[in-house]
Structure 1
Amino acid sequence: MSTDSRTPAVSVPPDVPPREEVPGDLRMARRLWPFLLASTISLIPFTVFGMYLVPIAEAANGTVAEIGGLRGLGGLAALVVGFALAPLIDRLPRELVAAGGLLLLGVSAALGAVGNVFALAAFCLLIGASTSILGPSIGAAAADRFASPAAAGRAATLVSATTSMMAMLAAPVLAVPGLLWGWRGNLLAAAAISVLLSLAFFWRGRGRKAPARSGGQRVSYLATYRELARIPGAVPLLVVAMLRTAAFMGYLAYLAAFYDEQFELAPGWFALVWSLSGASFFVGNLFAGRYLALDRNWLGPEKLLVLGLSAALVSVVAFYFSPTLPTTLVLTALMGVSHATVAACVTTLLVRRSGDLRGSALSVNASGMSLGVFLGAALGGVGLGFAGYPGTALAFGTITLIALVFATQVRRPTS
């Protein structure tokens, strides 16, 4: 394929990693702990918002539906900011970008503690904007710490696995301090930690240079998107990530209601179901990422991507027609594992193939997933409204099937 002579081509590392051994997870974690810590902090403000939605709505003199709907502003902000800033992620030192994201996160958490409608709207907007900056920057920074594509991909998936672990543990971890100082105290604590961590990242990043591009040339803002499109498999991978997120997040949006209606599961018992789903996603993401770092030729990331989506398709359709609680719980776990596997495959392939543009690629990917959150909740609601839970199964099954079709277009490079 020919390229614009004025625009340097993306340096795409070979998809097969060098023979050098990929470090173990504990060794990687010791090296990457600042980025892993930042990934855990990024989830706290929105977790507090979800956990304490009822008292937050009461404090804001609004209904749960009205205040809860403000969260959609965060997805919108993440979509716009993440896509707009994607070409800039690779132009600045990663630590400085992460410092900016953490500072914005702290400001937004402090605003959320104010508790009125306007402050909460600003909180949701700024949280979405900050996470769209923070996630790609720390993922790319972690990958940059290792030379081989296999190790770089594993580092990025280790960050995402830590994020998914925090999604599972955040609620119980925050419950105890919440008894002492309430939801406002949790938000203010998150603000303080974010600002302190931002200063630490700024100190680490000062004096560092932006990641160097191969050939030493810089791609223009708009040309970055053209270069991303030229990365082998990048477009179908980004579509898969968006649709997978739509199917899984849409499914999670109606999970509590489904268990309540079908099995009359009280909120306390449903918390265990939520933990099962989160634990399954964490374990799937952790072990899939580790397996992909080994790069076994007989089942590489392209094949595992298709396998994971096939399992997700079967499980989401079977879930809504499952007759008993035990089988439904098994399908809940299978949904978590299969979607986590797909997420690990997408991250690994993007990091390996995007080379110098991995920060931009991860930023666009995060924006697409933010859009997926909107699509999933909306399409699931349409299906539920027209045909009940069978309609929801049809909606999420169709989304997953389309993702599977795109996944088949992600092929292993021949050279």
Structure 2
Amino acid sequence: MSVDSKGSDVASPASAGEEALPGDLRMARALWPVLVASAVGLLPFTIFSTYLVPMAEDAESSVATLGGLRGLGGLAALLVGTALAPLIDRVRKEWAAAGGLAALGVSAALGASGDFILLAVFCLLVGASTSVLNPALTAAAADRFGSGKAAGRAATLVTATQSMTAMLAAPVIALPALFWGWQGDLFAVTGVSLLLAAIFFVRGKDAPVEKRDDSQRLGYVASFKALGAIPGVVPLLLIALLRTAVFMGYLSYLAAYYDERFELDPGLFAFVWTLSGASFFVSNLLTGRITNSEEPRIGTERLLAFGLVAALVSVVGFYFTHWLPLALAMTSLHAASHAVVAACVVSLLVRRCGTQRGAALSVNAAGMSLGVFVGAGLGGLGLGLAGYPGIAVAFGALVVVALVAAVLVLRAGPVEEAESAA
């Protein structure tokens, strides 16, 4: 074990046995600012989606027009995340997170104005800030626990927290809004974001400066080339993009499917959404624990492939189901399988990329932003051409391509802890 500048115990790469893999609660205590910040990062767009109708009324706009601004956030996340990817590992992760949180706080304050133009700026800034914040937080969590399996477990703990927040955020923000409205929710996000930004800035000042190696002295373009040269990284990034396209596209039409086929009203459909969110959270949490245990019974690369197979079976089978209990089972399985794939991808990127993990996670986040657009577009195309069977074909084809990429990851060989510690 080693001791950081705060006096906290941190697992070092050389640690062995139980000491090398702290428990979840111990990690959570060490990472609490990171986990809280990762949860806060999801709130602005959750508020935007939840209160879209009253926001549109206040902005004197239509719901369709205002809702379309959400796409600006995805576009900003794609462009900013890709452009800044090589720079994430050249600054202290705490300071990168502080900058992202500060921008998030400013964006929430602008959005609370209710002005249409400022809401457009809000969407752009939220997308841009989270494209820096999320990879910086995940990389910071991993860095705190070395370069091996403990680092991978810390990173997946962040993603599990985000999935739990996505599941619980709507009711959590709805209760305070009864007293202060949606504007109060956004101002609360501003206050919490700026407070966390100050905490991360101070922690970054006090953190020891990491020793620069050759990979960190690479030029901007060379950093992308070096990242692509790491065995298995490009296929992993492709899998993340395709997985996101399938899952987000599937979620885009989930309510319409349950309404048309099973006549579930929005109140009953809320339980379906909870089932999907809970399945994703539990599966993501357990997969992070299993794949980063001392002696996993199955390799992370193989579990990744199994998760994709389950995703293929569930997404195709779902759209041909006419029995509600089976549809619910498929919904749960599909969410759980995507959580397995997501946790495996993050674990492998963290453990394979070493000092370039921040850049890898940033490109990964940008690719997932692109996946949201691809999934919604292909899903709509499939639905328009051939109904729900068309969606099944479109999404099934994407998973098949992801399975081919998983074969390339398997051929790249298992992660070598000694190499990732470089």
- TM-score band, normalised by shorter chain: over 0.9
Who is 2:205 aligned against? 206
**In structure 2, distance between residues paired with 1:142 and 1:282:** 19
Superposed displacement of residue 192, structure 1? 1.1
C-alpha distance in 2 between matches for 1:297 and 1:159: 20
Match of 1:29 in 2: 28
User: Structure 1 residues 413, 286: CA separation in 2 closer, same or farther (over 3 Å shift)?
Assistant: closer
The equivalent of 2:135 in structure 1 is: 136
Distance in 2, Cα, partners of 1:119 & 1:174: 21
- Corresponding position of 2:68: 69
Distance 1:217 1:259 in 2: 50
Q: Which amino acid aligns with 1:324?
A: W
**Cα separation, partners in 2 of 1:62 and 1:16, compared to 1, 3 Å:** farther
Unpaired segments ≥5 residues, structure 1 = 1-14
**Counterpart of 2:192?**
193
The normalised TM-score by structure 2 is: 0.92
Cα pair 1:165 1:278 within 8 Å, conserved: yes
2:59 counterpart letter in structure 1: A
In the superposition, the TM-score normalised over structure 1's length comes to 0.93
Q: Partner letter of residue 32 of structure 1? A: L
1:56 matched to which residue of 2?
Answer: 55
> Structure 1 CA distance, aligned partners of 2:104 and 2:297?
43
Q: CA RMSD in A?
A: 1.8
Residue 316 (structure 1) aligned with residue 315 (structure 2):
yes
What do residues 218-275 of structure 1 show as CA deviations (whole Å, max 9, x unaligned)?
1211111011011110000000000000000010111111111111111111111111
Write out aligned runs for 1:293-332 (5 A): 293-294=292-293, 296=295, 298-332=297-331
Would the aligned equivalents of 2:111 and 2:118 in 1 still touch at CA under 8 Å? yes
Report matched runs for 1:153-164 at 5 Å: 153-164=152-163
Relative distance call for 1:175 and 1:348 in structure 2 (3 A) is: same
Please tell me the residue identity of whatever aligns with 1:254.
Answer: Y
Tell me what 2:181 maps to: 182
Amino acid at match of 1:380: G
How much has 1:116 moved relative to structure 2?
Answer: 2.2
- Counterpart mapping for 1:32-43 below 5 A: 32-43=31-42
Q: Rate the CA distance shift 1:217–1:316 in 2: closer, same or farther, 3 A.
A: closer
Partner of 2:4: none
- Rounded Cα–Cα distance in structure 1 between residues aligned with 2:214 and 2:373: 40
Which residue of 2 is the match for residue 338 of structure 1? 337
Please state whether the residue corresponding to 1:299 is helix, strand or coil. coil
**Please, which moves more after superposition, 307-316 or 105-114?**
105-114
Is contact 1:90–1:210 with CA below 8 Å preserved after alignment?
no
Deviation at 1:147, TM superposition (A): 2.2
Asked if the contact 1:17–1:148 (Cα under 8 Å) also holds between the matched residues in 2, the reply is no
State the 1:207 CA deviation: 4.7
1:211, 1:382 → 2: CA distance? 48
Rate the CA distance shift 1:325–1:217 in 2: closer, same or farther, 3 A. closer
3-state SS of paired residue (2:112): helix
Task: For structure 2, list consecutive stretches of 5 or more residues without a partner in the other structure.
Answer: 1-12, 417-422
Supply the distance in 2 between the matched residues of 1:201 and 1:254 (Cα, whole angstroms). Answer: 38
Corresponding residue for 2:97? 98
Distance 1:309 1:150 in 2: 22
Q: Which residue of 1 aligns with 2:282?
A: 283
| Larger RCO (alpha carbons 8 Å, 6+ apart) | 1
Q: CA deviation at 1:68?
A: 1.1
Deviation at 1:214, TM superposition (A): 3.9
Identity value in percent: 62
Distance in structure 2 (CA, Å) of the matches to 1:17 and 1:337? 32
Whole-angstrom CA distance in 2 between matches of 1:55 and 1:210: 47
Distance, in Å, in 1 between the alignment partners of 2:102 and 2:216 is 30
Q: Is the 8 A contact 1:94 1:210 kept in 2?
A: no
Task: Return the letter of the residue paired with 2:301.
Answer: E
